[in-house]
């Protein structure tokens, strides 16, 4: 299967925060095909432990998150339309006039669109239209009444997930899809497990994906407590800003070295290790300063402190139906995580910790 076909398959799966089962089922099936025995934590994160034969081998965790941003039905109106609360961060300006799938408790899939006012209805309005609030945006499944909505099994608490097809850009270098944040990470861990299946290493690896990252890094608190790694590597996607006149995250410039975000500062020992590993292995990287966080921000505060970082890529217009990202960046990040986990040993982990 080509890289694009793998990306298409994994990004078109619909799984939002608190409704990760479709993505978890996919990961479990792929992990088992590769010969691993996955296990889940109490919230539903899924991980494989690849034990080292080295005595007292240090434990290293590599974790994606499997949830994408979505919505939850908060109310059903008399006219048959729905209102929602967000699952993850949404810019209200990208929500309207889009297609979604609503999942009922019974697993029924209901097509839904978000309503946007046509310009005809804005004529004569005093002043410019106000910025919409997500809670006021109409989610419409074409139902005629609240009673009809209920007849189809729709209830408050049902989740609504973006629907979008992955396609290649005209130059063949980039992909347009939903959910690269963080199906990037999910594909990263699957490709890493495939690469490592016949390799013996001086570290024990815990590789998999957390739940509920988009709603507060929740799954990482649980998994790091359960699996007790000495170091932690999140694999996650961050917003590119190259189309906004900023050089902080550019497509095609390689894997990100995420030095800072509001919940995490990379330790000097980790920075030295990453820079040296990238240089020795010819990995293309770019510095990145973030305004948002990843699971590294939760993991590094667990178990008396776990040195952590993020091995990431950037993508344009994340948390929307149409994200643009570069396939060569994925390859650079994949080469980077391979070099990291096959280079780590007790001595290098001690150096990361003792800066």
- Residues tagged in the binding site annotation for Zn(2+): 65, 181, 214, 236, 319
Active-site annotation holds for 191: no
Query: Which residues, in sequence order, are CB contacts of 124 under 8 Å at separation 6+?
Result: none
Distance CA 145, CA 154 (A): 12
Instruction: Identify any residues that bridge with 169 across adjacent strands, giving them in sequence order.
Output: none
From the number of C-beta atoms within 10 Å of its C-beta (0-12, 13-18, 19+), residue 9 rates as middle
Instruction: Identify any residues that bridge with 21 across adjacent strands, giving them in sequence order.
Output: none
Point out the catalytic residue in the list 20, 68, 191, 213.
Answer: 213
| Helices vs. strands in the chain: H and E counts, helices first | 9, 18
- List the one residue out of 306, 134, 333, 113 whose CA is nearest residue 224: 306
Distance CA 19, CA 17 (A): 5
Give first-to-last CA distance, the chain, whole Å: 43
The three-class DSSP label of residue 327 is: helix
Q: By the 8 A CB rule, do 306 and 229 touch? A: yes
Measured CA distances, 122 to 49, 93, 97, 126, 350 (Å) = 57, 16, 16, 9, 63
- List the one residue out of 220, 55, 77 whose CA is nearest residue 138: 77
Query: How many residues does the structure list for the chain?
Result: 355
Q: Which helix (H) or strand (E) holds 28?
A: helix 21-33
Distance CA 41, CA 226 (A): 7
DSSP 56: T
Distance CA 309, CA 261 (A): 11
Residues annotated catalytic, as ranges: 213
């Amino acid at each position: 299967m080509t890289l694009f076909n793998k990306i298409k398959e994994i990004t078109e799966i619909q799984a939002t925060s608190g409704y990760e089962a479709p993505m978890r089922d996919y990961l479990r099936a792929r992990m088992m095909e590769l010969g691993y025995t996955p296990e889940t934590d109490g919230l539903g994160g899924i991980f494989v432990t690849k034990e080292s034969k080295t005595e007292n081998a240090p434990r290293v965790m590599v974790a994606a998150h499997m949830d994408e941003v979505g919505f939850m039905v908060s109310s059903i109106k008399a006219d048959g339309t729905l209102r929602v609360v967000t699952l993850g961060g949404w810019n209200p300006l990208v929500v309207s006039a889009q297609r979604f799938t609503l999942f009922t408790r019974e697993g029924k899939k209901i097509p839904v669109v978000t309503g946007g006012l046509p310009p005809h209805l804005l004529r004569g309005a005093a002043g410019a239209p106000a910025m919409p609030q997500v809670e006021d945006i109409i989610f419409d499944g074409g139902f005629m009444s609240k009673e009809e909505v209920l007849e189809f099994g729709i209830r408050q608490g049902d989740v609504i997930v973006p629907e979008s097809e992955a396609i290649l850009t005209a130059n063949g270098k980039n992909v347009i899809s939903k959910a690269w944040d963080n199906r990037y990470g999910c594909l990263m861990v699957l490709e890493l497990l495939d690469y490592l299946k016949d390799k013996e290493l001086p570290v024990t690896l815990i590789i998999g994906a957390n739940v509920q990252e988009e709603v507060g890094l929740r799954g990482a608190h649980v998994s790091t407590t359960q699996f007790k790694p000495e170091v932690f590597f999140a694999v996650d996607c961050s917003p590119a800003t190259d189309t906004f006149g900023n050089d902080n995250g550019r497509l095609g410039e390689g894997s990100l070295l995420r030095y800072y975000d509001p919940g995490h500062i990379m330790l000097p020992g980790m920075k030295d290790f990453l820079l040296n590993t990238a240089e020795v292995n010819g990995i293309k990287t770019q510095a990145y300063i973030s305004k948002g966080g990843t699971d590294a921000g939760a993991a590094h505060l667990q178990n008396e402190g776990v040195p952590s970082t993020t091995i990431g890529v950037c993508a344009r217009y994340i948390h929307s139906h149409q994200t643009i990202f570069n396939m060569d960046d994925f390859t650079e990040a994949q080469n980077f995580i391979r070099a990291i986990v096959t280079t780590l040993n007790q001595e290098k982990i001690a150096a990361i910790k003792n800066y």
